[in-house]
């Protein structure tokens, strides 16, 4: 193919637009003035499904959309409806956030013109060329997952007008906190323009997380009123502080949902090309959200790669985390780590050195792919999360699994280098504080009768479900969090901490707070547990100064020894003892040791370098003198 769609091109003469829609009978470019009056300009088909138009006199700041006519048969994948204004898939900015309205989903001939309801694309002047630099993040560091809005809405040191925006992340107070934690890179939950799911409005809720995208280029104006320039400025400020930026991308589905969903962009242009369908024409739903993107179709691959390059070349981001990552490698016969899109990412000159992180599971066939993304990819390791939680909960026969996770999960990543992203909590699930305060989910605020969210969280409540004024319960919970944090910071490979877990953030037991744009989800800076925070800062400083902790090479018997509390090598019988709760990991070359006491009594560990008294349910670290 010699022609392809792309972002609108501006010149002194005007603007050129190119849009893909092979089955359409006609496309129009729709221009809107300040009073929202519309001018429709017919586009011209130029072969291979591409439509083009040159618009003289159209420049930066112009607002526009698309309309498409053609066959209408949703059951066969045809959704053409000239009453539906569509967002250009390559639009790099929009004039306002998307708001769901039932008219956006009305069948052809039964609805009204949707232009007044739709966000319009905005033409942007190119930013100055950005010098290319290597990523600030390297595997083995600390990734800090955060929601742009919730992380700063209650941050008292950030100017009020900036709170809840990408610009707030560049505030000196925020950067100081990140540096105290020795954060290697922040991982921003989705910042692309998104739309609410249709069931949320009647419940009085909105989509807070943003995992329901309409655009893969445009940043949601609620998070970046200044658009791409805001992101670039913040990335620059974080880079100057030595902190990388990773953004969470959602390519597995879009916000047009199932057959009853709205027509916003891809669906109205080429639903059969952009989405995966069953042989009988029904939408495939490997995501649980209504549709599945055909990521390995040639034009979709091009769109995805172009959007990734856009954020690297225009904003300087260091890498990407991919929601429901198996979608990127899914072919008709299943997941393939050498699928065309994944191979393109590895070979692309702009993307090849970027950080690539997979959430290696979805609900589609063969959807669990932990350990299979291969060279160049890091992967969220839910086995780490669950095994560490189960050990500290007190489950029997968990010591061996704990040791494997501490050493880099060689049973999963067999290449000699661990590609594990070790984490205990993420945006999806309990916070770290709730993990030790709730044995069950409490999602009533979501309006789904507490049926949503994970049912098994390997959590525990220390005797009381939820908040407690009992000092003993509070102390037990704080000790548990400290032990969990110490385990995380002493683990081999990359580690990830979710914002606020370092100082005891709670979501009141809600483990699926995707629709809670309120105090349930926002990070409470004034009520934070400063004792826990100091503990996390100390762990971060120790990890940062200890090469034993932040390498990525798998730990082998020649590197470390596993000792019991008497300083003897662990025996087979001890490894297999279902009730054993004590172990020490000692690095042979330096004597650096991590002593883990998961029992309810204090324990004296006799190490070659000396004795160490470890309180009950605690981790103690014996670094060597350097």
CA distance 316 to 183: 18
Residues 6+ positions from 573 with CB-CB distance below 8 Å = none
CA distance 623 to 626: 9
CA distance 174 to 500: 12
Q: How many residues does the chain have?
A: 626
- 359 catalytic? Reply is yes
Dihedral, 173, 177, 182, 184 alpha carbons, nearest 10:
-60
150 DSSP 8-state letter: H
Residues 6+ positions from 561 with CB-CB distance below 8 Å = 569, 586, 588
Residues 6+ positions from 12 with CB-CB distance below 8 Å = none
CB 551 within 8 A of CB 528: no
Residues 6+ positions from 556 with CB-CB distance below 8 Å = none
Burial class (CB in 10 A: 0-12, 13-18, 19+), 214: buried
Residues 6+ positions from 90 with CB-CB distance below 8 Å = 5, 6, 7, 8, 217, 303, 306
The pairing of strands 50-56 and 44-45 is antiparallel
CB 427 within 8 A of CB 189: yes
CA distance 117 to 204: 19
- Catalytic, out of 81, 248, 359, 517: 359
What's phi and psi for 618, nearest 5 deg? -150, 165
Closest CA to 344 of 277, 291, 299: 299
User: How many of the other CB atoms lie within 10 Å of CB of 500?
Assistant: 25
What's phi and psi for 105, nearest 5 deg? -110, 5
- 101 catalytic? Reply is no
CA distance 498 to 521: 12
Cα Rg, the chain, nearest whole Å: 26
Q: C-alpha distances in angstroms, 36 versus 62, 201, 219, 221, 222?
A: 11, 26, 22, 19, 21
- Catalytic, out of 88, 220, 230, 323: 323
Tell me which residue has tokens 């280029």.
217
- State both tokens at 323: 């929601």
Residues 6+ positions from 24 with CB-CB distance below 8 Å = 51, 68, 69, 70, 80, 269, 270
- State both tokens at 142: 């600390």
* Catalytic sites, residue numbers: 323, 359
């Amino acid at each position: 193919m010699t022609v392809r769609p792309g972002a609108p091109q501006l010149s002194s003469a005007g603007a050129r637009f190119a849009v893909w829609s092979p089955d359409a009978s006609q496309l129009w470019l729709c221009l809107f003035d300040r009073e929202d009056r519309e001018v429709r300009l017919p586009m011209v088909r130029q072969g291979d499904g591409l439509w083009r138009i040159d618009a003289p006199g159209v420049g930066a700041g112009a607002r526009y959309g698309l309309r498409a006519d053609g066959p209408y048969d949703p059951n066969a994948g045809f959704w053409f409806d000239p009453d539906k204004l569509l967002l250009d898939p390559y639009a790099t900015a929009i004039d306002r956030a998307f708001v769901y309205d039932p008219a956006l989903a009305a069948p052809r001939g039964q609805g009204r013109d949707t232009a007044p309801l739709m966000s319009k694309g905005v033409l942007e002047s190119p930013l100055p060329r950005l010098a290319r630099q290597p990523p600030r993040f390297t595997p083995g560091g600390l990734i800090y997952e955060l929601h742009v809005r919730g992380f700063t809405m209650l941050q008292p040191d950030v100017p009020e007008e900036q709170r809840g925006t990408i610009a707030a992340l560049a505030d000196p107070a925020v950067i100081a906190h990140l540096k105290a934690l020795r954060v290697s890179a922040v991982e921003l939950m989705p910042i692309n323009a998104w739309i609410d799911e249709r069931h949320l409005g009647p419940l009085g809720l909105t989509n807070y997380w943003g995992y329901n995208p309409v655009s893969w280029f445009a940043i949601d104006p609620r998070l970046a009123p200044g658009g791409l320039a805001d992101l670039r400025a913040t990335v620059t400020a974080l880079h100057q502080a030595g902190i990388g930026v990773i953004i969470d991308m959602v390519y597995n589905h879009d916000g047009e949902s199932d057959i009853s969903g709205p027509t916003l962009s891809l669906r109205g242009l080429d639903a059969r090309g952009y989405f995966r369908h069953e042989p009988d024409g029904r939408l495939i739903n490997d995501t649980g959200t209504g549709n599945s993107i055909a990521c390995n179709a040639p034009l979709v691959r091009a769109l995805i790669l172009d959007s990734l390059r856009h954020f690297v070349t225009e904003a300087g981001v260091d890498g990407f985390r991919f929601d429901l990552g198996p979608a990127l490698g899914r072919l008709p016969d299943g997941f393939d780590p050498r699928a065309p899109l994944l191979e393109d990412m590895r070979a692309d000159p702009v993307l090849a050195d970027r950080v690539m992180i997979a959430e290696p599971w979805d609900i589609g066939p063969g959807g669990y792919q932990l350990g299979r993304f291969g060279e160049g990819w890091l992967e969220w390791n839910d086995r780490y999360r669950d095994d560490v939680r189960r050990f500290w909960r007190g489950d029997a026969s968990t010591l061996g699994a704990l040791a494997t996770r501490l050493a880099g999960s060689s049973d999963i990543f067999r290449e000699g280098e661990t590609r594990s992203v070790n984490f205990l909590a993420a945006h999806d699930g309990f916070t770290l504080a709730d993990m030790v305060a709730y044995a069950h989910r409490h999602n009533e605020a979501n309006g789904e009768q507490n049926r949503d969210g994970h049912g098994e969280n390997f959590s525990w409540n220390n005797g009381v479900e939820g908040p407690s004024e009992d000092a003993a319960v509070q102390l037990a919970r704080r000790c548990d969090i400290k032990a969990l944090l110490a385990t995380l910071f002493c683990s081999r490979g990359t580690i990830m901490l979710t914002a606020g877990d370092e100082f005891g953030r709670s979501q009141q037991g809600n483990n699926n707070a995707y629709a809670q744009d309120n105090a349930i989800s926002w990070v409470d800076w004034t009520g934070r547990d400063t004792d826990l925070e100091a503990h996390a800062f100390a762990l971060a400083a120790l990890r940062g100064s200890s090469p034993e902790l932040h390498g990525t090479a798998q730990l082998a018997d020649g590197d470390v020894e596993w000792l019991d509390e008497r300083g003897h090598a662990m025996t087979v019988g001890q490894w297999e003892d279902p009730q054993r709760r004590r172990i020490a990991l000692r690095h042979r070359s330096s004597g650096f040791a991590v002593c883990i006491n998961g029992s309810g009594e204090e324990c004296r560990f006799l190490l070659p370098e000396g004795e160490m008294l470890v309180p009950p349910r605690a981790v103690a670290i014996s670094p060597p003198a350097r």
